Amino acid sequence: MNTQTYDMIVIGGGINGAGIARDAAGRGLSVLLCEKDDLANHTSSASTKLIHGGLRYLEYYEFGLVRKALQEREVLLDAAPHIMWPLRFVMPHDPSQRPKWMIRTGLFLYDNLARRKRLKGTETIRFDRHRTGAPLKAGFTHGFAYSDGWVQDARLVVLNVMDAAERGARVLTRTECVAAERHGELWHVTLRDSNGRDSTVRARSLVNAAGPWVESFITGRARLPSPKSVRLVKGSHIVVKKLFDHDHAYIFQNPDKRIIFAIPYENDFTLIGTTDVEYHGDAAQVAIDAQEVDYLCRMSNRYFEKQITPADVVSTYSGVRPLLDDASDNAASVTRDYSLELSRDGAPLLSVFGGKITTYRKLAEEAVGMIAPLLGNTAATWTANAALPGGDLAAPSFDAFVQSAAARYPWLPEAMLVRMARAYGSRLHRVLDGARSLADLGEEILPGLYEAEIEYLVKSEWARMAEDILWRRSKLKLHLPADAETVLDGWLDARAKREAA
């Protein structure tokens, strides 16, 4: 038994758990966050990577959810301008789908449900006069353009956890909660590390942010009845060589009334997604299937002149969305809103059902607001105006920050500088740590990836494996040779042995 008693233990290192741990630590609560895998290992690294209100949710009359998300969109864009930025979307009008009046009405609501500070409003465009028309089939003549935001989703999780840790939270990755028992006003929580060793810690409150496992955690680990149910919906994406040469994204209406996005991705690629498929398997083993690949190719081919087949797919990813079960008839219409369920029969247990990445900060604020008073904590909310680590650029724009960094590090190759500035923001200076040449960064383990950056990711961002670094902390996996993971894992293993010695 660990003799320390925490105010709060948070189960789950996805976006909701990360946001709650950050908010609670910033209010002065002692927090332990545990995650059975890597941070953002599952749902939170498998999104479409949008900070958006959810235009299509208006069709299901979810005005409250859309308004809340649109309000949060502006807050998040201010908090981390290095990993989040505005993105312009183009919707070609397909006369066989929704009529123009319906689209105009929806976009008017989307523009006006919440105040916009930096995002441009909707406009109607003619494709013979707009650069986004060139990649489209000739039959599409008119469309609509509107604004939302883009986010590096897994990095958003990591930055929240970093902020929590810097405010005093203890973070344990690859540590599974295998049991949780109420003992009067305390929780006794059994944790199992990656070596199979168990330890028990105590807490005055417990937050269940286990995502796809939220319901099974309650009934299995805590041995309590679950107040709500989750509905697992698989969303899959494909990545292909870029289909267009501009910085806008597309939103396509399809005959099944669903929409998909085609988004500029990692400079050289186009990201296409997502699907909505009921899922009943192991949430840890989710993967795209051939039918989904074919579906996304066909939907892309309805609009783009350049046709793609499954053979053109260079990468895929899938995630399970743990949506609040609202008994909807089809997966696409299940609510993306969240429910916070608080059990006060003894030490508090708060369980998070549903949610979407755009509303994570508001969800966290509400969750801590429910628990903190029960622990005697009346600290004010604070995250709405606080930058995330690296977000304090001390420059009027991200481009201006890159220019100042280029002047400070003229020896750093431009592409590498931009990539690292996007990943780390103002923390770039900590990564480079006084280096005056590429040689000062140590060995080049993989093209463009040096020892100094890897050391930073291991020591400051809980990276342990090549996949953590090449997929979740970055997207370098898309740009490197096929054996990159093997090479990096070999280096990390040798490093661990040196540390142990």
> Measured between alpha carbons, how far is 250 from 272 in angstroms, rounded to an integer?
9
| 75 part of a folded domain | no
pLDDT tens per residue, range 144-193: 999 999 999 999 999 999 999 999 999 999 999 999 999 999 999 999 99
What was the pLDDT predicted at 102?
87
What was the pLDDT predicted at 72?
94
Q: At 49, list the tokens.
A: 């990577």
pLDDT tens per residue, range 268-325: 999 999 999 999 999 999 999 999 999 999 999 999 999 999 999 999 999 999 988 7
pLDDT tens per residue, range 325-339: 776 666 665 677 889
Mean pLDDT of 422-428: 98
> Measured between alpha carbons, how far is 149 from 76 in angstroms, rounded to an integer?
9
Band the pLDDT of 364: cuts 50, 70, 90: very high
- Whether 420 and 493 map to the same domain: the answer is yes
What was the pLDDT predicted at 329?
61
Give the number of other Cβ atoms within 10 Å of residue 165's Cβ. Answer: 19
Higher pLDDT, 101 or 90: 90
| 19 part of a folded domain | yes
68-92 as b/e: b if 16+ CB within 10 A:
bbbbbbbbbbbbbbbbbbebbbbbb
- Whether 408 and 495 map to the same domain: the answer is yes
- Whether 159 and 144 map to the same domain: the answer is no
- Whether 255 and 222 map to the same domain: the answer is no
Domain-ending residue, one of 271, 296, 324: 324
Structural domain for 173, as ranges: 5-43+154-229+335-385
- Whether 129 and 237 map to the same domain: the answer is yes
What was the pLDDT predicted at 59?
79
- Whether 98 and 224 map to the same domain: the answer is no
What was the pLDDT predicted at 331?
62
For the chain, count helices (H), then strands (E).
13, 22
Let me know: does 301 contact 307? Beta carbons within 8 Å.
Answer: yes
> Measured between alpha carbons, how far is 205 from 29 in angstroms, rounded to an integer?
11
> Measured between alpha carbons, how far is 59 from 138 in angstroms, rounded to an integer?
28
- Whether 419 and 491 map to the same domain: the answer is yes
CATH number at residue 114: 3.30.9.10
- Whether 264 and 131 map to the same domain: the answer is yes
- Whether 462 and 493 map to the same domain: the answer is yes
Band the pLDDT of 416: cuts 50, 70, 90: very high
Mean pLDDT of 215-244: 95
> Measured between alpha carbons, how far is 312 from 485 in angstroms, rounded to an integer?
22
What was the pLDDT predicted at 328?
65
What was the pLDDT predicted at 327?
65
Please state whether beta strands 170-172 and 31-34 pair in parallel, antiparallel, or not at all (unpaired).
Answer: parallel
* DSSP summary character for residue 136: B
Higher pLDDT, 230 or 316: 316
- In this prediction the pTM is 0.96
Percent of the chain clearing pLDDT 70 (strictly above): 98
| 67 part of a folded domain | no
| 71 part of a folded domain | no
- Whether 235 and 225 map to the same domain: the answer is no
Centroid of chain to Cα 302? 29
- Whether 192 and 238 map to the same domain: the answer is no
Q: At 329, list the tokens.
A: 């008839």
Domain-ending residue, one of 324, 347, 367: 324
Q: What rounded mean pLDDT belongs to the chain?
A: 94
What was the pLDDT predicted at 118?
84
Number of domains in the chain: 3
- Whether 460 and 494 map to the same domain: the answer is yes
| 70 part of a folded domain | no
